[in-house]
Amino acid sequence: MAYRIIHYINQFFGGVGGEDKADHPPELRAGAAGPGLALKQAWGDQAEIAATVVCGDNYCVGHPEEVAGFIGQALDKYQAQALVAGPAFNAGRYGLACGLAASAAAARGRVSLTAMFPENPGVEIYKANTFILPTADSARGMGQAVPAMAAFAIKLLNGRRLGSAAEEGYIERGVRLNTFHDEIGAERAVNMLMKKIKGQYFLTEYKMPAFDRVRPRPGVKDMSRATIALVTSGGIVPKGNPDHIPASSARSYGAYSLEGVDDLTGEDFQTAHGGYDQTFANEDPDRVLPVDVLRCMEREGRIGRLFPTYFATVGNGTAVAHAAQWGGEIGQKLREAEVQAVILTST
């Protein structure tokens, strides 16, 4: 008998609308829709999409418990064995929504699976809860993603012993699973030691974690004398985007002057960020980069001074390696300028 599966997609892939419909509450449609049609074809008679949940990305991220409950009801109503979400590619909020939906199904004991670009923020947050297959960064990767998702879902549903992430192709969840090896631990230890002695390749059974954490710096003692700098990943740039920072997958950041700027206006500044509805930031860029309030505080003596340069990039599918490098460079510049503290805003 075919497995019954619930498919989760967002307002865009569900044909409801774009960013303007991101607040669309969850709706349940019988059968397949959007990319589900391709999944359906890939499954043939192995599995059927019993129903599709269509939900706006903002609604899902803003109402996680309600959406999780909705998904639970959908799974029960259709007696579905699994939930497949996405693929979300590199859409940040869609990635979060897919992760949330798949996690909700996993928490209810169902097989669950989603797919997205490896650097989608949904990966880091939800990979421990569910299986995530890697995809390309845009919907151009649909043709590759769908057959992979279809095949892996069947593998999970068949319940065979699962290989490692490297063997199976999913994004490593960081979850430890017990297993029985052919040899006892002591024999494995001596074998590993012999390889290490001889300089041969060996595979540790537990990789010691390296923590990417920074020790918190002490607080600022006297704020009324402190120089505060602004940094943002929200893409606020001078009008016309002089450095051509792309709307997603940024490859650079910009340093821009606030000399003589008392209030950011839509006439002089804009957002270059392509990952959220730009209307509000373009109307008043202070909604992302609070220059107006900080200038006010500067006049009142609440802070010593607002550093006359701010740094901006677009945090939308930006590679972590890039972001880490820029963070180091910006930090270095601010330290040389004897800035005491930083306010970093993100969208």
Partner 1 sequence: MPVAHMASIVPISKSVGANRIIPTVAIPHPLGNPALPREEEVAVRRQLVEKALMALSADVSDQTVF
Partner 2 sequence: MKLELHKISVRRICFGEATHVENGLLTVNREELKALIMEDRGLAGVELDLAHPGEDTRIMPVKDALEPRAKLSGPGEVFPGFIGPLDTTVGEGQTLVLEGAAVLTAGRLVAAQEGIVDMSGPGADYTPFSRTANLVLVLTPREGVRLHEAEQCCRLAGLKAAHYLAAECRAAAARADRVAVYDFQPLSETLARHPNLPKVAYVYMLQSQGLLHDTWVYGVDAKRILPTLMSPTEIMDGAIVSGNCVSACDKNNTFSHQNNPIIEALFKRHGTELNFVGVVVTNENVTLADKQRSSSLAIRLVRLLGAEAAIISEEGFGNPDADLILNCVKAEKAGVKTVLVTDEYAGTNGASQSLADSCPEGDAVVTAGNANATIILPAMAKVIGDPGQAEVVAGGFFGSRRPDGSLEVELQAIMGATCELGLSRIGAYTI
The tokens 């192995």 sit on which residue? 46
**Euclidean distance between CA atoms 169 and 230, whole angstroms:** 40
- Shortest distance, position 321 Cβ to partner 1, whole Å: 13
Distance between start and end Cα atoms, the chain: 46
Kindly state the tokens that stand for 208.
């010691």
Note whether 164 binds partner 2 by CB under 8 A.
yes
Name the minimum Å distance from CB 343 to partner 1. 5
Instruction: State the DSSP code for 192.
Output: H
Contact segment (CB under 8 A) with partner 2 among 20-28, 166-174, 246-254, 273-281 equals 166-174
Peptide bond into 147 cis (omega under 30): no
- DSSP annotation of 54 reads E
Q: Which is nearer to partner 1, 48 or 137 (CB)?
A: 137
Provide the angle, in degrees to the nearest 10, between the axes of the packed helices 92-107 and 64-77: 50
SS3 category, 237: strand
State the binding partner of 76 from partner 1, partner 2, none, CB within 5 to 8 A by kind: none
Among the listed ranges 48-56, 93-101, 201-209, 316-324, the one in contact with partner 2 (CB under 8 A) is 201-209
User: Kind of pairing, strands 82-85 and 3-10?
Assistant: parallel
Could you say which of 67, 116, 281, 314 contacts partner 1 (CB under 8 A)?
281
By the rule CB under 8 A, 169 interacts with partner 2 = no
Q: Give min distance, CB of 346 to partner 1, in A.
A: 4
Residue 265 interacts with partner 1 (CB under 8 A)? Answer: no
Which of 42, 296, 319, 333 touches partner 1 (CB under 8 A)?
Answer: 296
- Least distance CB 73 / partner 1 (angstroms): 24
Task: By CB under 8 A, tell whether 206 contacts partner 2.
Answer: yes
| Binding of partner 1 by 61 (CB under 8 A) | yes
Position among 289, 310, 314, 316 found at the interface with partner 1 (CB under 8 A): 289
212 binds partner 2 per the rule CB under 8 A: no
Residue choice 37, 139, 157, 192 for contact with partner 2 (CB under 8 A):
192
How distant, in Å, are the alpha carbons of 16, 41, 88, 106 from that of 141?
22, 17, 10, 25
How far apart CA 124 and CA 295 sit, in angstroms, is: 36
Smallest CA-to-CA distance from 37 within 148, 169, 150 is with: 150
Smallest gap from Cβ 73 to partner 2, in A, equals: 24
User: What letter does residue 56 receive in the DSSP assignment?
Assistant: -
The partner in contact with residue 194, picked from partner 1, partner 2, none with C-beta cut-offs of 5 to 8 angstroms by kind, is partner 2
Q: Are 328 and 215 in contact (CB under 8 A)?
A: no
C-beta closer to partner 1: residue 249 or 345: 345
Coil, strand, or helix at residue 236? strand
Give 216's contacts (C-beta < 8 A, 6+ positions apart). Answer: none
47: which 2 tokens?
């599995």
Kindly tell me which of 197 and 214 has the beta carbon lying closer to partner 2: 197
Among 18, 109, 199, 216, binds partner 1 (CB under 8 A): 216
| Two tokens, residue 69 | 């409950």
102 binds partner 1, rule: CB under 8 A: no
Could you give the CA distance from residue 17 to residue 56 in angstroms, rounded to a whole number? Answer: 9
Q: Which residues bind partner 1 (CB under 8 A)?
A: 58, 61, 93, 96, 121, 124-125, 212-214, 216-221, 223, 226, 228, 234, 276-281, 283-284, 286-290, 292-294, 296-297, 302-303, 331, 334-335, 339-347
Q: Which residues bind partner 2 (CB under 8 A)?
A: 128, 162, 164-165, 170, 172-190, 192-194, 196-197, 202, 204-210
